[in-house]
Amino acid sequence: MTRQVYRLGTGIPSYGEKPIEDGNPQYGLGQPADLPGRQSPPWLRGSPGETRPLTASNEAAQPIGVLDAAGQQAVTPTRLRAGWAGPVLLVVALGVLGQAWLGYRARITGSFSTNLWYLTLCLIFIPSAALVTSRRINDRVRVWFTLYMSLALLATRFVLYPTQFVYHDELINYRVLLSIANSGHLFTRNSLLPAAADYPGMEIATITIHQLTGLSLHSSGIIVLLTVRVIMTLALIRIIQRISKKLTVGCLAALIYATNPQYLLFNSTFAYQSVALPLSFFGVYVFVMRSRSRQLIAIAPAAAVVAAVAVTHHLTSIAVVVVLWAWYLFTLITKRHVSQLLLFAAASTLLVATRLWLVRSDVIPYISGITRNSIATIIAFLSGKSNHKFFTDPTGAHAPAWQVALSIASVLIITSTLVPSLWLAITKRRLLSAAVMVLFTIAALYPIIPVGHLTGAVSEIADRSSGFVFAGLGYVIAAWWFRDFPFHRHGKRGSFTPRRHTWLLIPGLSICFVGGTIIGSGPDWLHGPGAYLVSAENRSVDQLALQAASWEGQNLPPNSRVLTDRVNALLAEVYGNQHVLTSLADGINTNSLSTLLLAPPAPADADVACQANVQYLIADKRLTWSLPHVGAYIDAGEYPNGNRTLPPPPSALAKFNSVPGAERIFDNGATRIYDLEGLPCARKR
């Protein structure tokens, strides 16, 4: 009896999987090969005179990395048919210009227009999405436009902050970079996040470009970010293409991936996961490309990439190992062997485990701290003690109604497409390849992202998982959208088989893009420059704070023990070359020590400073202006216990004006620096 084989495109086995015994290859979701295929919707069919229909990609028919008989790439007609492709190029560029103008205006007026920010982002995303999903362009151009869009979205970050890194994680990683530049060696500890120094992959790439080209460290960092964005976009497209046999599915998956909450902001920052995530995609791509070889050495290139990931980011490298073992597990379940997969998974595990073991003293406390905090937050939520408010930042500022509506709409749209996609997978589960099952499993994790937002601390972790979840989600939804067979096995439409309306695709993607960005990119003030705000990451890095940090670097002994607020701590570490006291690196009691900056004057102040051996105290009197925008002035667990409802009094930040032995050695109107080495108890030590 002939077994029905479902496929989406050409008949090329993928991922090194052996064809099934009846000789028919099977992979992914697709059309029963022995059934007459349902006619594609009109918009999917090529128009008269069009050289290449959208659903039967010529490029998809060409295995990656394989040349034709003449040793040349099989060249396909590349002439564009869409007359509006040129204007799209321009409109996307205008979107970037609009972002630059917003940054310029915000610096002049102090006010950043969030509405225009989203509007200019849509100028980049919507025309690109429309063009990439259009049937009027060929596959190669489709890929270039997908890449152009992803780079343009990344460029929006650079035109808002063109000369320096200003976000929390960026500054921590920049500190690691400066340490390498100054010492020539890796793994120099920093007190802000010791684990960051243990994973210097991004900084190594940056310092190499800096040394080979003479570019500044910041410019070199931008080049690294651009490079890994290219890697991420193209690797995702190629991996999905390998599975689905359609480049169009790969490009749509990349568009869907761009709607993930961390895409625009967090995974575009100069932080280690921004490099590790693309490299992990690249590692899988390289393995897939070489997995047909029977030689053991064939996995060496992919293992080298995983080794690079292993020294770039802890959680990403762990996630890669989990994905590889899940993949292997599914090959056992499906009984379809993937050549070299076991060896690759074992080698990756060895590399990642070795790295983790070497840096366990830094990484384990860091990860366990996050885990403890998350569990405590979940318990507080379940017991009704959580004070987390949806769409509200810690100062009480609420997101506009349209942002709330779009966020919810994006979750609903993704869920409403994910459910039928997963249902499709369940009904066709015996015909899915192991790789596809892995992607479906990853996609099925999507609910943790919106559910994670029920609590404050967990939402950050949930959002960070989106870098992986949306890779699966991109494939699942794109494959479902481009399916070219009756959804129901009997060709009837059922509860989970809604029609696919072309006109719904672009608005749906746009809503998901804006909604996802709202969910993952935090409150409005986080998006760009503007007037100073209290404890607000980028918005707290202003001329006054930078001037103080620069002075510290020139006048204070390096690595002096400094106590200050969250943002001035970052600047003191990066530009002041100081050792900022933190609970993570120094084991200090944050609650007790934070009283030096946040509590009214008390007789015990000098003793508290002495016990922690604080040499310099940096007090920014602007902390009294408002509650902290990120929820803490200094760190979690700071004074007072429980919820703060008012900013600290001015006397809290000026108490050392009158403490005997303390010297006030710097004053720029906002920031005062106190030298506490003269405190009587300090002298005794």
Partner 1 sequence: MRSQEIILRAVLIIGLLAAIAYNINVWIAAPLGLLTIAATAELAIRPYAASSIDRLLLGCGITVTAFILIGIGLNLTPWGLTRITLTFAWTIINFGVLVWRRKLGTHIEKPLGGIISFGPWVLLASMVLIAAGVLAVVGVRQWNRQPVLAFALTSTSPDSVVVEIDSTSLSDRYRIVAASKSSGALQYSSAPLTVKSGGDGQRIFERVPINVAGVWTINLESLNDGTVVRWLKVDIHSP
CB of 597 to partner 1, least distance (A): 18
Of 234 and 422, which CB lies nearer to partner 1 in the complex structure? 234
Q: Which of 47, 51, 115, 211 binds partner 1 (CB under 8 A)?
A: 211
Tell me the window of 31-39, 142-150, 442-450, 620-628 that interacts with partner 1 (CB under 8 A): 142-150
- Distances in Å between the Cα of 493 and the Cα atoms of 42, 87, 479, 487 are 19, 39, 18, 7
Check residue 205 for interaction with partner 1 (CB under 8 A): yes
- Distances in Å between the Cα of 675 and the Cα atoms of 313, 351, 546, 616, 641 are 37, 46, 19, 5, 28
Tell me the window of 228-236, 263-271, 390-398, 487-495 that interacts with partner 1 (CB under 8 A): 228-236
* Secondary-structure percent of the chain, ordered helix, strand, coil, rounded to 5: 60, 5, 40
Query: Residue type for 23, please?
Result: G
Four-point Cα dihedral 326, 27, 19, 285, nearest 10: -60
Tell me the window of 44-52, 136-144, 519-527, 629-637 that interacts with partner 1 (CB under 8 A): 136-144
Residue 68 burial class via C-beta count within 10 angstroms: exposed 0-12, middle 13-18, buried 19 and up:
exposed
Check residue 657 for interaction with partner 1 (CB under 8 A): yes
Q: Which of 215, 367, 397, 445 binds partner 1 (CB under 8 A)?
A: 215
Tell me the window of 67-75, 391-399, 447-455, 639-647 that interacts with partner 1 (CB under 8 A): 67-75
Instruction: Determine the Cα–Cα distance for residues 64 and 530; give it in Å rounded to an integer.
Output: 47
Check residue 49 for interaction with partner 1 (CB under 8 A): no
Check residue 144 for interaction with partner 1 (CB under 8 A): yes
Q: Which of 209, 252, 478, 634 binds partner 1 (CB under 8 A)?
A: 209
Q: Which of 16, 30, 200, 221 binds partner 1 (CB under 8 A)?
A: 200
CB of 123 to partner 1, least distance (A): 11
Instruction: Determine the Cα–Cα distance for residues 17 and 587; give it in Å rounded to an integer.
Output: 51
Of 238 and 579, which CB lies nearer to partner 1 in the complex structure? 238
Q: Which of residues 554-583 bind partner 1 (CB under 8 A)?
A: 555
Residue 545 tokens read as: 């704070």
3 state SS of 24: coil
Tell me the window of 503-511, 513-521, 541-549, 576-584 that interacts with partner 1 (CB under 8 A): 541-549
CB of 319 to partner 1, least distance (A): 18
Instruction: Determine the Cα–Cα distance for residues 522 and 526; give it in Å rounded to an integer.
Output: 6
Check residue 535 for interaction with partner 1 (CB under 8 A): no
Of 275 and 614, which CB lies nearer to partner 1 in the complex structure? 275
Q: Which of 8, 154, 192, 224 binds partner 1 (CB under 8 A)?
A: 224
620 DSSP 8-state letter: E
Of 137 and 511, which CB lies nearer to partner 1 in the complex structure? 137
Tell me the window of 233-241, 418-426, 512-520, 635-643 that interacts with partner 1 (CB under 8 A): 233-241
Write the binding mask 298 to 337 for partner 1: x where contact by CB under 8 A, - elsewhere: ---x--xx-xx--xx-------------------------
667 DSSP 8-state letter: E
Check residue 183 for interaction with partner 1 (CB under 8 A): yes
Check residue 72 for interaction with partner 1 (CB under 8 A): yes
Number of shown-chain residues binding partner 1 (CB under 8 A): 105
- Residue of 102, 80, 93, 158 whose CA lies nearest to 128: 93
Q: Which of residues 389-448 bind partner 1 (CB under 8 A)?
A: none
Q: Which of 33, 44, 223, 300 binds partner 1 (CB under 8 A)?
A: 223
Spatial neighbors of 325 by CB under 8 A, at least 6 apart, are 345, 349
CB of 423 to partner 1, least distance (A): 33
- Distances in Å between the Cα of 417 and the Cα atoms of 135, 231, 362, 668 are 22, 27, 41, 55
Q: What are phi and psi of 434, to 5 degrees?
A: -60, -40
Instruction: Determine the Cα–Cα distance for residues 200 and 179; give it in Å rounded to an integer.
Output: 11
Q: Which of 2, 39, 163, 643 binds partner 1 (CB under 8 A)?
A: 163
Of 31 and 244, which CB lies nearer to partner 1 in the complex structure? 244
Q: Which of residues 104-133 bind partner 1 (CB under 8 A)?
A: 104-105, 107-108
Of 46 and 447, which CB lies nearer to partner 1 in the complex structure? 46
Instruction: Determine the Cα–Cα distance for residues 565 and 622; give it in Å rounded to an integer.
Output: 11
* Sign for the pseudo-dihedral over CA of 27, 335, 488, 468: negative
Check residue 182 for interaction with partner 1 (CB under 8 A): no
Instruction: Determine the Cα–Cα distance for residues 312 and 321; give it in Å rounded to an integer.
Output: 14
Confirm if 277 and 165 have CB atoms less than 8 A apart: no
Check residue 51 for interaction with partner 1 (CB under 8 A): no
Q: Which of 124, 234, 442, 536 binds partner 1 (CB under 8 A)?
A: 234
Q: What is the CA radius of gyration of the chain?
A: 27
Beta strands in 410-499 (DSSP E): none
Check residue 543 for interaction with partner 1 (CB under 8 A): yes
Q: What are phi and psi of 426, to 5 degrees?
A: -65, -40
Give 579's strand partners. 561
- Residue of 556, 483, 83 whose CA lies nearest to 246: 483
Check residue 10 for interaction with partner 1 (CB under 8 A): no
Q: Which of 212, 297, 401, 646 binds partner 1 (CB under 8 A)?
A: 212
Residue in this structure with the two tokens 């084989």, named with its chain if needed: 5
CB of 72 to partner 1, least distance (A): 5
CB of 65 to partner 1, least distance (A): 5
CB of 311 to partner 1, least distance (A): 6
Of 172 and 310, which CB lies nearer to partner 1 in the complex structure? 310
- Distances in Å between the Cα of 129 and the Cα atoms of 142, 374, 511 are 10, 36, 12
Residue in this structure with the two tokens 């004074």, named with its chain if needed: 639
CB of 617 to partner 1, least distance (A): 13
Tell me the window of 68-76, 321-329, 428-436, 519-527 that interacts with partner 1 (CB under 8 A): 68-76
Q: Which of 158, 366, 485, 639 binds partner 1 (CB under 8 A)?
A: 158
DSSP per residue over 352-418, as a string?
Answer: HHHHHHHTHHHHHHHHHHHHHHHHHHHHHHHTT-----TTB-TT-PBPPHHHHHHHHHHHHHHHHHH
Tell me the window of 225-233, 455-463, 572-580, 620-628 that interacts with partner 1 (CB under 8 A): 225-233
Q: Which of 149, 228, 437, 634 binds partner 1 (CB under 8 A)?
A: 228
Q: What are phi and psi of 254, to 5 degrees?
A: -65, -35
Q: Which of 551, 585, 601, 631 binds partner 1 (CB under 8 A)?
A: 551
Confirm if 8 and 246 have CB atoms less than 8 A apart: yes
Write the binding mask 80 to 99 for partner 1: x where contact by CB under 8 A, - elsewhere: x----xxx-xx-xxx-xx-x
Check residue 239 for interaction with partner 1 (CB under 8 A): no
- Distances in Å between the Cα of 454 and the Cα atoms of 94, 227, 450, 511, 524 are 37, 35, 7, 21, 19
Write the binding mask 479 to 518 for partner 1: x where contact by CB under 8 A, - elsewhere: ----------------------------------------
Check residue 185 for interaction with partner 1 (CB under 8 A): yes
Q: Which of 22, 34, 607, 667 binds partner 1 (CB under 8 A)?
A: 667
